[in-house]
Amino acid sequence: MPQKTDKTKLVKRHLSLISTTSSWSRALRAGLEDDGGFDWTTLGTLTRPDRRVRARIVAKSEGIWAADGLIEAMAAVEPKIRIRQKIFDGERLRAGQLVCEWQGPADRVLALERPFLNLASYTGGIAMRTFGLVEQVRKAWKGPGNPPRVTATRKTLPGYRDLAICGVLAGGGHSHRVSLSGGVLIKENHIASAGGIEAAVKGVRGIAPHGLRIEIEVRDEKELRSALNQRVDAVLLDNFSPSDARAAVKTIAKSADSDRIIVEISGGLNEENIAQYVFEGVHVLSVGSLTHSVAAIDLSLLVEGT
């Protein structure tokens, strides 16, 4: 499971502070609104409006929990439901394991069941996928120091970005740019629009804040050499084969700025091939599928009565 460090605890604390008041609460409320105004099933089956129940959320598959912020958001969205949490962000789930216990009005428990499970399953799936890739990279690493980072990309659903990042971090991965303002990444369409790599880099240097690194996406050796001539801070090797990536890293090592250039590899990385890109000189492995096509973990809520 992801290593517990003081930094991990700090990140988790920060996530809980920002997510309770924003993304988790918004997503939970949106789930309630999606259910419409009248739940005819609950209205018909509950004979007592004030009936209180106990419920248990149980894992039906292996996974990693990545929804502490969701439990905190529940207190703000529905304070009448009391939750006793049994597992916390970054901890491994096994099938049959108790995640948390609920106690509260039956109608509110039934209304919040599906939105809660959907969101927790989504972020848990991201965490589990991230954990698997991080472990592969760790095992494949033969060099000194730390292995390359596994990062997500900006391929997230609108409104669910922060939740997806929570999942990635809980799985031991890292975030890429959280937003366009979080970093400079000159991609092929920027280069085409600017009229070339030199024009694109000069244009960005003329306007971007001085504290931001300038990263540029390259598709072949020619574009790489052009980027190095512009003395960029980072290069993204896009859709390079493992052998071409190794050749590119050797080219970068011969440049005047080799000691400070960050090397990122992206494009089709997955469980089958990521280990082939784990070698010295590579700092970041970014995987879009961590957030755009992940399988949710299986969670179930079971009402036990009063």
pLDDT per residue as tens digits for the range 249-304: 999 999 999 999 999 999 999 999 999 999 999 999 999 999 998 899 999 999 98
pLDDT category at 306 given cuts 50, 70, 90 is low
Structure tokens at 270: 């997955």
Mapping DSSP to helix (H, G, I), strand (E, B) and coil, where does residue 59 land? strand
State the CB neighbour count (10 A cutoff) for residue 67. 31
Q: Residues 53-104: pLDDT tens digits? A: 999 999 999 999 999 999 989 998 999 999 999 999 999 999 999 999 999 9
| Eight-state DSSP code of residue 220 | S
Residue 134: exposure state from Cβ atoms within 10 A (0-12, 13-18, ≥19)? buried
pLDDT, residue 42, reads: 84
Do residues 1 and 132 make contact, with C-beta atoms less than 8 angstroms apart? no
Mapping DSSP to helix (H, G, I), strand (E, B) and coil, where does residue 46 land? coil
Residue with the larger pLDDT of the pair 158 and 150 = 150
pLDDT, residue 92, reads: 95
pLDDT, residue 18, reads: 52
The residue type found at 214 is: I
Q: In the predicted model, what is the mean pLDDT of residues 190-205?
A: 96
State the CB neighbour count (10 A cutoff) for residue 200. 21
pTM of the entire predicted model: 0.89
Residue 179 has pLDDT above 90, yes or no: no
Q: Name which of 145, 116, 8, 129 is nearest 56 in CA terms.
A: 116
pLDDT, residue 7, reads: 54
Residue 35 has pLDDT above 80, yes or no: no
**In Å, how far are 59, 97, 101, 169 from 299, measured between CA atoms?**
5, 10, 13, 20
pLDDT category at 1 given cuts 50, 70, 90 is very low
What is the chain's mean pLDDT, rounded? 91
pLDDT category at 159 given cuts 50, 70, 90 is confident
Q: Name which of 248, 233, 257 is nearest 282 in CA terms.
A: 248
Residue 222: φ, ψ to 5°:
-65, -45
Residue 158 has pLDDT above 90, yes or no: no
pLDDT, residue 20, reads: 44
User: Domains (ranges, CATH) in the chain?
Assistant: 6-127+294-305 (3.90.1170.20), 135-292 (3.20.20.70)
Give the C-alpha separation, 150 to 283, whole Å: 9
